[in-house]
A and B are shown apart, each in its own frame.
Chain A
Amino acid sequence: MNTADPTMNTAEEHVARMLRSGTDAGQAGQLARLRARLADHAAAAGFLDVAYRTLDTALGPLLLAATPRGLVRIAYACQDHDAVLAQLAGRISPRVLRAPARLDAAARQIGEYLAGQRASFDLPVDLRLARGYRRTVLTYLPAIGYGRTASYAAVAAATGNPKAVRAAGTACATNPLPLVIPCHRVIRSDGTLGAYAGGTEAKRTLLDLEAAGHTAG
């Protein structure tokens, strides 16, 4: 802040305060409009590297983020959306803006899935946040169909690494796209649920949802 200027009189200090903070009530709406326009122009110019929005769901607010290639990150509230955005800025690009348009299809399909009206996702995904074996596991997971489960050991075996049970678990735990890449369908060999990015309760909710849809359909 400016330090008080001893040569200023009270009226001048008042003018300085008006300049600094202002009184215009319409500014919040104007800024919201300008920010939306910025996101549109940046996307049109081709340098909106990461677009994101949040989506309110029964599992709490979800963060959805996409690059021009596709959906790159989904995060539960317990994963700290601000921290996730900071990670995306560091790992992909700091050109990150709230820009819902790119996430329209993802938001619609996730809403349908959570309402029990969709069994699989038809979305371009960008798996750049997962490398090596983790990526191999994530690419395999959609093969575990809606309403089914598989053990970490079975996933390790199916991906050609029967001894890599722990690595398969890590791949699920670090899944950048939970829900859309169904790591929730991977459970422990003893039938207990195991960990989940969104918490065990969310995993239970998803498996119950799918079990209901599976028996009904």
Chain B
Amino acid sequence: MRLPPFEQVVADHGAVVLRVCRAVAGPHDAEDAWSETFLAAFAAYPRLRPGSNIRGWLVTIAHRKAIDRVRAAGRAPLPTDPVPEPLVPCGQPADPDTALWAAVAALPDKQRAAVAYHYVADLPYAEVAALIGGSEAAARRAAADGIASLRTTLTGQEARP
């Protein structure tokens, strides 16, 4: 078994990693986070064991890059961006995802990471827990709390009793 050309990796996983970056780094820093993640992945790619879970590997790199960025900035972990300005170029419909990413940005760090890695990247809870620390059950709970909170924010519905 051999590693596929990296171009194939970008084609297969570029979009989902961009969504993970939007969730974890915030919409404003998502492009830089994506570029850092893929450049680091590209450099390290020949050392990846063939047959590895490539998406899990990319998300791990994205996670470490997010931590590095936070440390470099000397701020609280995974800072929340202010709600993005609703301005859109003339003639363009507002991006329905704008509200989604703003709501994700407002989640507590652990919930945001759990939501990003489980619901956006589709990683199993065991892998999510390995990334964010704590137990698998805690990762599951953080993701569920995050989704419930997003539901409330996005639909205006109260959380279920």
- Residues of A near B2 (CB, < 8 A) are 86, 89-90, 94
If A12-B147, A23-B97, A31-B15 touch, whether A86 touches B38 (CB-CB below 8 Å) is: no
- Residues of B near A192 (CB, < 8 A) are none
Whether A8 and B14, one on each chain, are in contact in the complex, defined by CB atoms closer than 8 angstroms, is: no
Whether B18 and A20, one on each chain, are in contact in the complex, defined by CB atoms closer than 8 angstroms, is: no
Whether B5 and A19, one on each chain, are in contact in the complex, defined by CB atoms closer than 8 angstroms, is: no
Q: How far is the CA of A16 from the CA of B4 in the complex (A)?
A: 30
Question: DSSP majority for the B interface?
Answer: helix
Interface size on A, residues (CB 8 A): 43
- List, sorted by A's number, 17 A–B pairs whose CB atoms are closer than 8 Å: A9-B151, A11-B151, A11-B155, A12-B151, A15-B100, A18-B154, A23-B95, A27-B18, A30-B31, A35-B10, A38-B42, A85-B8, A86-B5, A89-B5, A93-B46, A94-B46, A97-B10
Whether B157 and A94, one on each chain, are in contact in the complex, defined by CB atoms closer than 8 angstroms, is: no
- Residues of A near B83 (CB, < 8 A) are none
A contacts, CB < 8 Å to B = 1-2, 5, 7-9, 11-12, 14-16, 18-20, 22-27, 30-31, 34-35, 37-38, 41-42, 45, 47, 50, 52, 85-86, 88-90, 93-98
Interface size on B, residues (CB 8 A): 41
Asked if B75 CB lies within 8 Å of chain A CBs, one says no
